[in-house]
Amino acid sequence: MKNQFFKLTMAVGLSVTMLFSNVIPALAADGDNTITGSGTGTSTGHLDNDYIEVTLPTERTVANTFNFYVDPEDIIGKGGVFETDAVVSNNDLVYFAISSNEATQQYASTSDELEITIKSYLDANVSVVASLSGNDASTITLVDTSGNIDNSAAADDTSLWLGLKVGDNETVALSADGVSSNCDVSGQSDKFDISGNIHTSYAVTPKADQTWDSISISMAGKAQLTKNATGIVAPEVVFVFTVTLPDAAAASTAITGAYVSANQQYDLTLPDGVTLSSASDVTNLTVNGVAITDFTLNGGKNKIRINRSDIKTALGGDTGSWATTDTFTFTFTANGVSYKAENVAKNG
């Protein structure tokens, strides 16, 4: 039994000796206990976030959706047909083929909607330009509002109103010079993963099984009832769809930011004279490149307010970059304008 106790005691004793041998420094002969060391900082670099993937309608889809008939003499209303099937007439005298559950093709004076689907980490802009074909031989006068057309009685000349609607924008009328409508689409950063690591480069990739934002586009028309439509030629309309990201080189508008300790909030102050309608006007708010989704506006709606606790959480808390960061850079977009507040002190 003595031998067993001795061996156990020796094992513990050796372990303790090894432990202490790692932490007891060597003393210089002159008693100087100073050592010198350093820590090297490494930048994580740039996040390649200008990812955009757009699903545009095909030429065939555009044609099938936006081809239309103009019926100035209301022949359809008198019982006429386009092909063989009966057609439900309308008072606007313009007919787009529309989708329905009916056995025969249905028509209406407002077209079906085309969809442009956008996968984008950043805000994007959708532009739709509608113009008359360069070979257009139309003999119909275009008017700027459907209210200018009165079908209570037949007129001598034919006129036509064609309206373009993009997203939630107001419908705009096609003119001889063409028309355009632009719509902003907010970035969908929460639907992307960040790939890469400190040794390579960082980029964003779309997550699987996501529902992506889209913009709807439609046309509507109204034609003037005409006494005699002999020789009348309807217009040909050409559409150009463009989706773009903001100019990455465009300078952001510099603003100021400050920590308000009394409220435990950071305030980002907009330029003089700039106010917002609501917090929803603000998109892609980041702090040190990390997205922030919780924020409010002050009463005057010229300041964006972010809780300190939300920023601490976003930056990883006491074990993340929050613990080692003394200043912040905030960026966001509001009503199409990019803003940046730099060197915002962490503790005021």
> What pLDDT sits at residue 314?
80
207 and 334 together in one domain: no
Q: Flag whether 44 is in a domain.
A: no
Distance in angstroms (rounded) separating the CA atoms of residues 223 and 232: 12
Higher pLDDT, 18 or 255: 255
Q: Within this chain, do residues 197 and 240 fall inside the same structural domain, yes or no? A: yes
Domain contains 169: yes
65 and 195 share a domain? yes
Quote the pLDDT of residue 9.
37
Q: What pLDDT is attached to residue 24?
A: 47
pLDDT, average across residues 26-38? 71
Residues 186 and 162 in one domain: yes
Q: Are residues 237 and 260 in the same domain?
A: no
Q: State pLDDT tens for residues 41-81.
A: 887 878 888 888 888 888 899 999 999 999 999 999 999 99
211 lies in the same domain as 322: no
Contacts of 100 (CB under 8 A, 6+ apart): 106
What is the CATH classification number for the domain harbouring 307?
Answer: 2.60.40
Q: How much of the chain exceeds pLDDT 90, in percent?
A: 47
- Cβ proximity of 62 and 68 under 8 Å: no
Residue 46 is assigned to a structural domain of this protein:
no
**Which of 48-52, 234-238, 242-246, 303-307 is the least confident region?**
242-246
User: Residue 331 belongs to what domain range?
Assistant: 253-345
Query: Within this chain, do residues 157 and 188 fall inside the same structural domain, yes or no?
Result: yes
As beta bridge partners, residue 69 has 95
Residue 149 in domain: yes
If asked whether residues 103 and 215 sit together in one domain, one would say yes
pLDDT above 50: residue 143: yes
Residue that finishes a domain, picked among 244, 271, 295: 244
In a domain, 180, yes or no: yes
Do 259 and 234 reside in the same domain of the chain? no
Domain stops at, among 217, 244, 271: 244
Between the two ends of the chain, the Cα-to-Cα distance in Å is 68
Q: What is the pLDDT of residue 138?
A: 78
Give the pLDDT confidence score for residue 284 in this predicted structure. 84
Mean pLDDT to the nearest integer, 274-280: 92
Residue 136's pLDDT is: 65
Last residue of one domain, picked from the residues 210, 244, 278:
244
Same domain, 237 and 257: no
**Confidence (pLDDT) at 29:** 58
Q: How far apart are CA 80 and CA 215, in angstroms?
A: 36
In a domain, 13, yes or no: no
The pLDDT confidence band at residue 27, using thresholds 50, 70 and 90, is low
20, pLDDT greater than 50: no
Average pLDDT, the chain: 85
Tell me: pLDDT of 111 over 90.
Answer: yes
Q: How confident is the model at residue 26 (pLDDT cuts 50, 70, 90)?
A: low
Q: What is the pLDDT of residues 181-195, one digit of tens each?
A: 888 889 999 999 998
What is the total count of domains within the chain?
2
Whether residue 94 is found in the same domain as residue 150:
yes
Across the range 153-164, mean pLDDT stands at 92
